[in-house]
Structure 1
Amino acid sequence: MGTERRPLFCDQALAARIERAEADFMTQCTAAARGRAEGFAMPLAGGVATFADTDSPFNKVAGLGFAGVPADAELAEVEAAFQAHGCPVQVELAALGDPAIGELLTGRGYRLVSFENVLGRALSEAGAAAMPPGIEVRSSGDDELAQWLALDADAVAHPDTEGVPSHEEFPYEVVENSTRDMVATGIRRYSALRDGTLAGVASFRVSGTIAQLTGAATAPRHRRHGVQTALLAARLAAAAAAGCELAVVTTQPGSKSHQNVQRQGFDLLYTRAILVK
C-alpha cells in the first residue's frame, strides 16, 4: 500500500509569505504599466495599494493582515489616491490575516462583494505527469507573443460558467494590456498545442521558493480536452526544477480551474475576502 498523502497545512507564517509574494507581483506589474499610465504603488501595513491603469485587474490592495493594522490616516491617503483616478478601492483580505482589519474596513464603509480561493501544493510531491494524448506543452518565446496574448485575452472574454462567477469583467484591450504588463515582469510563459494548433497558454513566476501560477487560458473550442491539465503539469515540473518548494494558485470557488488544480494535488490553503469601497 502507498503512503496516504497528507493535505498541505497553511499557518499564518506561510500565508504571510504568499501574500508578500502577491503584493510584490502587483508592485512589479504596476511598474510595468507606467509607460502607458500614471499609476502608483503605496506601501500599506506590510501590503501594498496599487493602481496600474483604468479598469486594470492590478488596481487593488494586497498583502494586508500580517504586519499590523493600518492607521486611519494611512487608509485615508490610499482611498484619496484611488479616488483621484476615479477608481473604487478593492481590498483582497486573507482569512488568515488579522481579523481587526476586516472590522476596520467595514467600519469605513467597505462591503463584501466576493471571495477567491488560494490553493497550494508541495513540489516535493511533484512527479512527471503523463500528457493527455495529442497535446504538447513547450516554453513560449517572443516570436509568438502576439498569438499568446491574443489567445489569453480571447479566452478571458469567453469564461467558463462553472462555479461562483467573478465579480469583475475586463474589456479585451484591458486584459491584453495587463497580460503584457505581467510578461514585462519576467513571468515564465508556456504554450499548449493540441494536434499541432495553439490551444492554451499559461505562466508562472518564482518568488523565493514559491511558484506563483500567474494565469492559464484555453481557447473555447479546445476546452475539456486536457489542455489545462497539461499546462499545469508542465509548470509544476518546471517550478520544481527551478528550486521552488511550493506552488500556489488563485481560483474562483467551485470553478473548473478550482477542480483542475485539486485533481492535481492542490489543497485549499485559505480564502481571500474581496471588500470594495
Structure 2
Amino acid sequence: MLVTTKALVERAMQLDLAYAIQRMGLIAARPGNPFGIAIQDFGQATALAASQLPSPRFNRLVGLTPDEALLLPDILAWFAAQGVSPRIEIRPGSLDAALADALARAGFRQTGFHASLVAQTTATPALDDVIRPVETPAIMDEFLDTYLAGWGFPSAIHEGAKGNMRGWLGLPGWHLYLAQIDGRPAATAILFLDGEVGYLADACVHPAYRGRRLHAALLAHRQNEAVRLGAGLLCGQADFASTSHRNMERSGLRLLHTQSEWLAK
C-alpha cells in the first residue's frame, strides 16, 4: 500500500523533471539551439526555458521551496534574460508565508492546480484495441502525425515539431506506443522509465477517434508493459478532474497531490 510521504512527492516530481529535461536536451542538440533551450539550477529548484517554444511545460520553475525565497529575484532575472515569463509549480509542503509573500511581491498569483497520481504496478486486463510498439522510422512517422493531431499542433509547424521529436525513437528508457482502429493510427502514448519507476506521459487521441476508450486502453497497456519491464511504481500527471485524471483513477492510480501553479499577473 502506498502512503503519501514527502519522499514520494519528491520522486514523482523528479521523474516528471527528468522526462522534460530529456525532451529539451534533444531539442537543444539541434544545430544552433534554434529554440533557445536553457536549463539552470537554483538551490533545489530547476528553471526550464525555451524562448522560441510557447509551451508552459518548457518554460517553468520546478521544485521551488521556502529555501529559495531569497533567490527568487535572481531566478526571475534569469528567466527575463531568456525572454520568458515562467509558470511556477509548487507542491504541498513547499510553500510558507514568506515564499507566498515573495511570489506576490514579484507579481505572481496562483492560477490553478495540477494533479499528480501514483500507483504500484500491477497487471491489468487489456482492452480490445490494437496497440503496437513504435520501433521503426515508418511507424514513428505515423506516431508523430497522430501525436500532433491529438495535441492540436497547427499544421504549419508540424515538420518543425517532428524534428524536435524524432529523437525519441530508441532513446533509452523511452517506450512509445501507437493505438490503431481498423488499421488506422488513432492514439499515442509514452512510458518513460527511470530506474524502477515509470512515468505515464503524453497520451493523446486523434480527434477523429475520441470517445472510443483509447486513452483507457493505452493506460492499461502501459501498466502491463511497466510490469513486464520491471517497474514497481507508476506516476502520472493530468489537469485536475479532467477526463485524463478520471481515466487514470479508474485504471488504479490514486491522487498523490495537487500542485499549485503560479503565473505573473
When the two structures are superposed, what TM-score results if normalisation uses the length of structure 1? 0.82
When residues 272 and 245 of structure 1 are mapped into structure 2, their CA distance, relative to the original with a 3 A threshold, is same
Which position in structure 2 is the counterpart of 1:83? 80
Give the match for residue 139 of structure 1.
133
| Other-structure match for 1:129 | 125
What is the distance in 1 between the residues matched to 2:21 and 2:134?
24
2:199 is the counterpart of 1:212: yes
Residue 180 (structure 1) aligns with: 165
Q: How does 1:159-170 map to 2 (within 5 A)?
A: none
In structure 2, C-alpha distance between the alignment counterparts of 1:194 and 1:150, rounded to whole Å = 15
- Provide the aligned C-alpha RMSD in A: 2.4
22, 47, 58: which one aligns with 2:16: 22
Distance in 1 (alpha carbons) for counterparts of 2:40 and 2:163: 19
Q: Helix, strand or coil: the match of 1:25?
A: helix
The alignment status of 1:64 with 2:51, answered yes or no, reads: no
> For residue 150 of structure 2, what is the amino acid of its counterpart?
A
CA distance in 1, matches of 2:96, 2:229: 35
Alpha-carbon separation, structure 1, partners of 2:104 and 2:167: 31
What letter corresponds to residue 149 of structure 2 in structure 1? D
Is 1:224 paired with 2:218? no
Residues 38 and 52 in structure 1, CA contact (< 8 A), matched pair in contact too:
yes
* Runs of 5+ unmatched residues, structure 2: none
Q: C-alpha distance in 2, partners of 1:197/1:276?
A: 40
CA distance in 2, matches of 1:268, 1:52: 30
Name the SS of the counterpart of 1:193 in structure 2: strand
Change (3 A) 1:251 1:69: same
User: Which stretch of the first structure deviates more once superposed, 211-220 or 18-27?
Assistant: 18-27
Q: How far apart, CA to CA, are the structure 2 residues paired with 1:140 and 1:70?
A: 41
CA distance in structure 2 between the partners assigned to 1:43 and 1:171 by the alignment: 32
Partner of 1:154: 149
Counterparts of 2:239 and 2:96, CA distance in 1 = 22
Q: Is the 8 A contact 1:33 1:181 kept in 2?
A: no
User: Following TM superposition, by how much is the alpha carbon of 1:199 offset from its aligned partner in structure 2, in angstroms?
Assistant: 0.9
Deviation at 1:147, TM superposition (A): 2.0
CA deviation vs aligned residue, 1:188-229 (integer Å, no higher than 9, x gap): 100111122111100021122221111101112211212111
What amino acid sits opposite 2:85 in the alignment?
Answer: P
Give the 3 Å change call, closer, same or farther, for CA 111–98 of structure 1 in structure 2.
Answer: closer
Match in the other structure for 1:252? 239
Q: What is the aligned residue count?
A: 252
CA distance 1:46–1:181, change in 2 (3 Å): farther
SS in 2 for 1:69: helix
CA distance in structure 2 between the aligned counterparts of 1:63 and 1:29, rounded to whole angstroms: 18
State yes or no: 1:120 paired with 2:115.
no
Give, in whole Å, the separation in 2 of the partners of 1:104 and 1:202. Answer: 38
Q: C-alpha separation between the residues in 2 aligned to 1:218 and 1:179?
A: 20
1:11 matched to which residue of 2?
A: 5
* Superposition deviation, residue 242 in structure 1: 1.9
Identity %: 23
Contact 1:51 1:82 in 2 (8 A): yes
The one of 89, 93, 96 aligned to 2:90: 93
Give deviations 1:111-153, integer Å, cap 9, x for gaps: 1122110011111xx1241313xx1111012322222112111
